[in-house]
Chain A
Amino acid sequence: MNRRLGAGWLTAAAVVLLTVVAACGSSGGGTGTASKGTVTVAGFNFPESSILAELYGEALAHDGYSVNYKLNLGTRKVVAPALQSGQIDIYPGYAASELEYYNNGAGEATADPAATTAKLNTYLAKLNAEALTPSQAFDGNAYAVTKATADKYNLKTLSDLTPIAGQLVFGAGPECPTYKFCLPGLSSVYGLHFKQTLTLDTDGPATRAAFKNGSIQVGLVFSSDADLNALGLVVLQDDKHMIAADNVVPVVRTAIATDEVKKVLNNIDANLTTADLVTMNGQVELLHQDADAVASAYLQQHNYFA
């Protein structure tokens, strides 16, 4: 009787232990090769950010670094604190939006990427971080309407919206009401006051679904989105230049910002164009290719900019 009880305990314990070991053991297998160090690259929760994060990460891995990824991590309000607390080392930022985040919306961003980035670095320096050289690739907030709405009200620019905004429903993400280049900007620069604002997502599936079923007439998208045409959406021109220099720029922690790392990242950004962003976005958003595969192909095509 005692022996059987003992055997029962042992078996139960063994089963539990085996499960845990099997689950943990295989995921801990190391690569064995010596690396130049480990970096964690994060991205915001939209596909282009995953692509950019993969571009940076794979280039660094190719250069001998050990790279961890935290893709689709969240909005800037989640990603930026993660950088400050050292949980991530790099994220692909957009110069003007980063500046207006770190300066608490002081309104210092301009259309000049270099000046904007320089100003951004004055804030980042205090946080042991820095922004590298901005790319000419640009992706800022854009505001779109359906072709039907554009035709109905003869809309081409955001100013055209001002007289009729009160009849339209606007859709954006949860951070929009407090994000400088979203509702506050639309209101202060263009005087837009919509009939209603729906909280959907930031240029995601909910916004697109809302356009499709007519719940919103105006919505937030990104200027480098590849599927706008396919969805029958028209971007309204930012004629009063509310959107500033949202050029792609890596934001990195000073601790890992060695000359080597900076060289790798700057090489990519020096050659990245907005057209490249649109193409890669299309491959992910329309053809459902993997962000890492798309980034890989791009880097190999350009020989890793070596």
Chain B
Amino acid sequence: MSLLQATWQWLTDPAHWQGIDGIPTRVGEQVHLSLESVAIGALIALPVGIVLGHYGRFGNLAINISNVGRAVPSFGILVIAFQVFGLGDVPIVIALTALAVPPMVTNSYVALREVDPDIKDAARGMGYRGLAQLFRVELPLAVPLIMAGIRTSAVQVVATATLAALIAGGGLGRYIVDGLARSDNPRTLAGALLVAALALATELLLAGLERAMVPRGIRLLAASSPRKVGTFKTA
């Protein structure tokens, strides 16, 4: 039986859809870990990037932080988190959050910076000041690029959460790591395909969300953003 056939059999085996090692459970764990990490990361990154972008401060830091973030090896960060926090979700979420923050900081900074100065002038002329200008004029225009940053982070986190299994974590990485340990290739391939599918689903879902959130007029304006942070592989 070929590997593809064996993997198909593995995926369609009802036993693999139940219980603590079943596909729904593992997918749920991966989603849970990723969601927590991206949410916490966003709570940290977005305010920082937006404020820095609005006031135009520490631009170099904001742009380069994503370069620093990319340079951090996710395997190393996960193991360090494990050594500090031990077993469980905490080290995994902390490590993944650390990976999620940089792209979102850079993108939100650039998003705010790239708001057309003419529009900011016009807003000022219309009487908008400070925070009102930020919230009612700049942020709506910045949404596409900010969402792109969140999307990049999310896809990266979903893929990297796979490595959690190396520190006894759960999620779809469990199938890959266990498959390697047992030389059970159908299990490994099934895990890989499921992770790829989940990453793709995340990308599509967030792209759809972005489309829904951004008014059409602004979408046309923000058609090309050359300095946004692109998809980056960390695992």
Q: Do A and B touch directly, given a CB cutoff of 8 Å in the complex? A: yes
A contact residues vs B (CB 8 Å cutoff): 74-75, 77-78, 81, 173-175, 178, 196, 198-201, 205-206, 209-210, 212-213, 215
Closest-CB distance, B149 to chain A (whole angstroms): 31
> How distant is the Cα of A256 from the Cα of B20 in the complex, in angstroms?
45
B contact residues vs A (CB 8 Å cutoff): 20-21, 82, 86-88, 167-168, 174, 177-178, 180-183
Which residues of chain A are within 8 angstroms of B167 by Cβ–Cβ distance? 206
Which residues of chain A are within 8 angstroms of B87 by Cβ–Cβ distance? 200, 206, 209-210, 213, 215
> How distant is the Cα of A173 from the Cα of B168 in the complex, in angstroms?
9
Which residues of chain B are within 8 angstroms of A209 by Cβ–Cβ distance? 82, 86-87, 168
> How distant is the Cα of A74 from the Cα of B87 in the complex, in angstroms?
21
Contact partner of B180 among A74, A178, A215, CB < 8 A? Answer: A74
Among B21, B180, B181, chain A packs the most CB atoms within 10 A around the CB of B181
Asked if B82 and A205 make an inter-chain contact with CB atoms under 8 angstroms apart, the answer reads yes
Closest-CB distance, A63 to chain B (whole angstroms): 33
Which residues of chain A are within 8 angstroms of B178 by Cβ–Cβ distance? 174, 199
Report the nearest B residue to A179, measured CB to CB: B182
CB pairs A–B below 8 angstroms (11 shown): A74-B181, A78-B180, A78-B181, A174-B177, A174-B181, A196-B20, A199-B174, A205-B82, A209-B86, A210-B87, A215-B88
**Chief secondary structure at chain A's binding surface:** mixed
> How distant is the Cα of A102 from the Cα of B120 in the complex, in angstroms?
74
Asked if A75 and B82 make an inter-chain contact with CB atoms under 8 angstroms apart, the answer reads no
Asked if A75 and B181 make an inter-chain contact with CB atoms under 8 angstroms apart, the answer reads yes
Asked if B183 and A77 make an inter-chain contact with CB atoms under 8 angstroms apart, the answer reads yes
Which residues of chain B are within 8 angstroms of A196 by Cβ–Cβ distance? 20
Closest-CB distance, B124 to chain A (whole angstroms): 45
Given the known inter-chain contacts A206-B167, A215-B87, please indicate yes or no for A175 contacting B82, CB distance below 8 A.
no
A-B pairs, top 4 by smallest CB distance, nearest first, are: A206-B168, A174-B181, A174-B178, A77-B183
Closest-CB distance, B188 to chain A (whole angstroms): 11
Report the nearest A residue to B178, measured CB to CB: A174
Which residues of chain B are within 8 angstroms of A206 by Cβ–Cβ distance? 82, 87, 167-168
Which residues of chain A are within 8 angstroms of B88 by Cβ–Cβ distance? 213, 215
Which residues of chain B are within 8 angstroms of A175 by Cβ–Cβ distance? 181-182
Closest-CB distance, B166 to chain A (whole angstroms): 9
> How distant is the Cα of A77 from the Cα of B179 in the complex, in angstroms?
10
Asked if A201 and B168 make an inter-chain contact with CB atoms under 8 angstroms apart, the answer reads yes
Closest-CB distance, A83 to chain B (whole angstroms): 13
Given the known inter-chain contacts A205-B82, A206-B167, please indicate yes or no for A173 contacting B181, CB distance below 8 A.
yes
Which residues of chain A are within 8 angstroms of B177 by Cβ–Cβ distance? 174
> How distant is the Cα of A118 from the Cα of B178 in the complex, in angstroms?
31
> How distant is the Cα of A196 from the Cα of B19 in the complex, in angstroms?
11
Which residues of chain B are within 8 angstroms of A174 by Cβ–Cβ distance? 177-178, 181-182
> How distant is the Cα of A196 from the Cα of B25 in the complex, in angstroms?
15
Which residues of chain A are within 8 angstroms of B182 by Cβ–Cβ distance? 75, 77, 174-175, 178
Closest-CB distance, B25 to chain A (whole angstroms): 12
> How distant is the Cα of A81 from the Cα of B178 in the complex, in angstroms?
17
Given A77-B183, A213-B88, list of 13 further CB < 8 A pairs?
A: A78-B180, A78-B181, A173-B181, A174-B181, A175-B181, A196-B20, A199-B168, A199-B174, A205-B82, A209-B168, A210-B87, A210-B168, A215-B87
> How distant is the Cα of A200 from the Cα of B167 in the complex, in angstroms?
8
Which residues of chain B are within 8 angstroms of A215 by Cβ–Cβ distance? 87-88
> How distant is the Cα of A92 from the Cα of B226 in the complex, in angstroms?
56
> How distant is the Cα of A256 from the Cα of B111 in the complex, in angstroms?
64
Asked if B86 and A213 make an inter-chain contact with CB atoms under 8 angstroms apart, the answer reads yes
Closest-CB distance, A300 to chain B (whole angstroms): 33
Which residues of chain A are within 8 angstroms of B168 by Cβ–Cβ distance? 198-201, 206, 209-210
Closest-CB distance, A146 to chain B (whole angstroms): 15
